[in-house]
Amino acid sequence: MTISHDTSAPLFVVVGATGNQGGSVIKMLSESSGHYRIRALTRDATKPRAEELSRAGVEMIVVGPVLENKIEIFKAFEGATYAFTPDGLIVRSIQDAALGKLYVDAAFAAKVQLLLWAGLPDMAMASEGKYKRVGEFDGKAEVSRYAQDVGIPFVNIQPGWYMQEFLTVDKPKKQKDGSFAVFGVGDPQTLVPLVDSTRDYGVYVLKAIELFETRSIESGHDILAFTEEISFDEIMAQLSENTSQKVVYVKVDEKQFLDSLMLKDLTRPQALDTLEMYQAMAEFGYYGKQSAGQPLQGLAKIPRTWREFIKENDWSEVLS
């Protein structure tokens, strides 16, 4: 990992440095041909990953993502040339949009040349009001609109469905016959745009900078950060093929899905929000459209496919 300490080098502020997106951005910046100073914001500098970044030359700033830290957040952005803010760390609901807007304000006050933001589409708008509880998407879309209104140069790099989810929150559940199943409310042929967020999200951030600086895209442009778009059935078929375990996708009704969410210790309102999110994605597509189209080309490195991700990870605990 090579990080510049030359004060003439552009300063890149990264929020959520120890997370999937922020960590991927720092890794790609350090491996790129460009020379960047990197200032990373974290809530806990004693984490092993934060300490590793510090040893590599990243300037670590301890400041939590809460509205009460406005002064500290603004100070952390001072002098920045570029800034990146992740999605899940600061905006998980429509109520969290105020925090996302605070980071936009901090970047605007610092007069950054470009803000890279991990937003998502407005599902309430995409569904013409049918789904109004998809706060995790709609809150991020609200921040994107705010950035547009403020007039800050920004690119909205929308992450696809994390491949890592199938190792954690969406991991297959063992059935009585010894097989494994992932349950959902969408059709088995629903297309899902996948991305290995830890390894590859930063690749799309680098490409966004390149496209913006060469004026190939304008402020407010959406970049869809995904490697491939495949169905739930195909996701499970490849998982079965490469793990020697039978894994299937099973479509269930609303009640069954809600019951399964409640077993994950979600409150009923949280479960209802999650249900609508999956319903909206099933009906209108993950990006608010039936197909995400072709993946972005000309990246600094080839993103990992789902099949490659399966082979690169240990599934023994998940499928046991």
Res 11 pLDDT > 80:
yes
> Would you give the DSSP letter of residue 302?
P
First to last CA, the chain: 36
Res 78 pLDDT > 70:
yes
Res 182 pLDDT > 70:
yes
Tell if the pTM clears 0.75, that is, is over it. yes
At 139 the pLDDT is 87
- Pull the structure tokens for residue 241: 């093929």
Per the CB < 8 A criterion, the answer to whether 150 and 142 are in contact is no
Confidence of residue 290 (pLDDT cuts 50, 70, 90): low
Average pLDDT of the segment spanning 311-315 = 96
Per the CB < 8 A criterion, the answer to whether 222 and 122 are in contact is no
Residue type for position 242: N
Res 33 pLDDT > 70:
yes
Rounded to an integer, what distance in angstroms lies between the CA atom of residue 124 and that of residue 312?
A: 37
Per the CB < 8 A criterion, the answer to whether 10 and 82 are in contact is yes
Residue type for position 244: S
Res 77 pLDDT > 90:
yes
Rounded to an integer, what distance in angstroms lies between the CA atom of residue 156 and that of residue 160?
A: 12
The CA-based angle 55-85-105, given to 5 degrees, is 120
> Would you give the DSSP letter of residue 42?
E
Res 91 pLDDT > 80:
no
Confidence of residue 87 (pLDDT cuts 50, 70, 90): confident
Rounded to an integer, what distance in angstroms lies between the CA atom of residue 138 and that of residue 56?
A: 36
At 273 the pLDDT is 86
Average pLDDT of the segment spanning 155-183 = 94
